[in-house]
């Protein structure tokens, strides 16, 4: 059965216990599959990118029919770090809720809505209004050239620059290394594996480091970064406490020897064209 995330950010935990390890976050409007019901408060779920964990029922709308319709029709993504959804299309209006970057919403065609505003339908069925420039349509990777995809992925990652590090995080409130890379790809129509390793069945394949291009992924022991070109990479660094940029060039002021000397793999989306 499918369900929809209704919380701004729904935690996926390692155990059905709010004090257990945070393994992932699923954002508002994303759908999940209920693998099993654990008890009155918890379910075990699988995300669209096949990551699993325990989620509190209070963060979900458990309605398969609505979830299936929502999955088809919620074709826009919040691109602003934080977006207030208002009751009316004017800045003085009362807020319905706040959404974070990466949340899925359904845009509605309503009359007499000012151009700078968009009407959206929430999971609850309520109508809200956000600034039009804070939305982007979901991107199909097939519509992008390789060059454009690579540029987009880097630009998306850069939009999280200085976001604080959070283990298991995946929003501007806090994001970890694999969360940053997976969101950079998700915004551009590709689901990659959520953790810092290359896994068969996902659309990233290993290449030699000398083949690395902008938008490819760099893997270290327990860590992942996104290559920007010119020997620079962006990553959410536990050691640096936030999303930051470093260099593989030992002469560069942003060089990190601990990472530059411990690369275990480089992965790309473009070595072979996967079926997605």
Q: Are residues 231 and 179 located together in one domain of the fold?
A: yes
Active-site choice (55, 76, 177, 181): 177
- Domain check: are 235 and 199 in the same one? yes
Task: Examine the domain organization and report whether 260 and 182 are in the same domain.
Answer: yes
DSSP conformation letters of 151-183: HHHHHHHHTTTTPBB-TT-EETTEE-HHHHHHH
pLDDT of residue 272: 56
Residues 130 and 160 in one domain: no
Q: 209 is in which domain, residue-wise?
A: 141-268
The CATH number of residue 157's host domain is 3.90.1720.10
Residues 218, 224, 226, 227: is their CA dihedral positive or negative?
A: negative
Q: pTM to 2 decimals? A: 0.94
Residue with tokens 């930051």: 244
In a domain, 276, yes or no: no
Confidence (pLDDT) at 276: 41
Q: What is the mean pLDDT of residues 165-189?
A: 97
pLDDT at 273: 47
Q: Are residues 118 and 215 in the same domain?
A: no
Same domain assignment for residues 64 and 17: yes
Name, of 83-97, 237-251, 258-272, the range with top average pLDDT. 83-97
| 275 is a domain residue | no
- To the query of whether residue 181 is one of the catalytic residues in this protein, the response is no
- The secondary structure of the chain in percent helix, strand, coil, rounded to multiples of 5, reads 20, 40, 45
Report the number of distinct structural domains present in the chain: 3
Mean pLDDT for 84-107 is 97
Residue 234 lies in a domain: yes
Task: Specify which residues 9 forms β-bridges with.
Answer: 27
Same domain as 163, residue 257:
yes
The tokens of 60 are what?
Answer: 């979900």
- On whether both 30 and 125 belong to a single domain, the answer is no
What mean pLDDT do residues 148-169 have? 97
Q: What is the pLDDT of residue 197?
A: 94
Q: Which of 55, 76, 181, 223 is catalytic?
A: 223
> Residues 92-131, buried b or exposed e (16+ Cβ, 10 A)?
eeeebbebbbbbbbbbeeeeeeeeebbbbbbbeeeebbbe
Residue 237 lies in a domain: yes
Tell me, yes or no, whether 160 and 264 share the same domain.
yes
Q: Active site includes 252?
A: no
Q: Which of 55, 76, 181, 235 is catalytic?
A: 235
Return d(Cα 252, Cα 232) in angstroms, integer: 9
């Amino acid at each position: 059965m499918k369900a929809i995330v209704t919380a701004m950010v729904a935690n996926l935990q390692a155990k059905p216990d709010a004090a257990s390890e945070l393994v992932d976050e699923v954002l508002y409007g994303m759908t999940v599959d209920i693998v099993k019901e654990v008890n009155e408060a918890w379910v075990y779920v699988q995300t669209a990118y096949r990551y699993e964990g325990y989620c509190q029922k209070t963060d979900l709308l458990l309605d398969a029919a609505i979830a299936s319709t929502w999955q088809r029709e919620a074709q826009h993504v919040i691109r602003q770090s934080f977006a207030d959804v208002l009751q009316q299309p004017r800045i003085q209006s009362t807020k319905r809720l706040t959404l974070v970057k990466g949340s899925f919403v359904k845009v509605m065609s309503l009359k007499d809505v000012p151009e700078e505003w968009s009407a959206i339908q929430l999971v609850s069925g309520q109508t809200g209004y956000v600034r039009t420039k804070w939305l982007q349509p979901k991107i199909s990777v097939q519509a992008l050239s390789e060059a454009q995809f690579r540029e987009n992925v880097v630009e998306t990652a850069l939009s999280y620059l200085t976001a604080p590090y959070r283990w298991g995080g995946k929003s501007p409130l806090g994001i970890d290394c694999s969360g940053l890379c997976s969101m950079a790809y998700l915004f551009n129509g590709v689901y990659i594996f959520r953790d810092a390793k290359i896994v068969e069945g996902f659309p990233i394949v290993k290449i030699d480091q000398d083949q690395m291009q902008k938008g490819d992924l760099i893997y270290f022991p327990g860590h992942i970064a996104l290559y920007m070109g010119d020997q620079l990479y962006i990553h959410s660094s536990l050691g640096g406490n936030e999303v930051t940029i470093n260099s593989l060039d030992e002469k560069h002021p942003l060089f990190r020897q601990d990472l530059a000397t411990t690369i275990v793999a480089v992965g790309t989306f473009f070595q072979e064209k996967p079926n997605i």
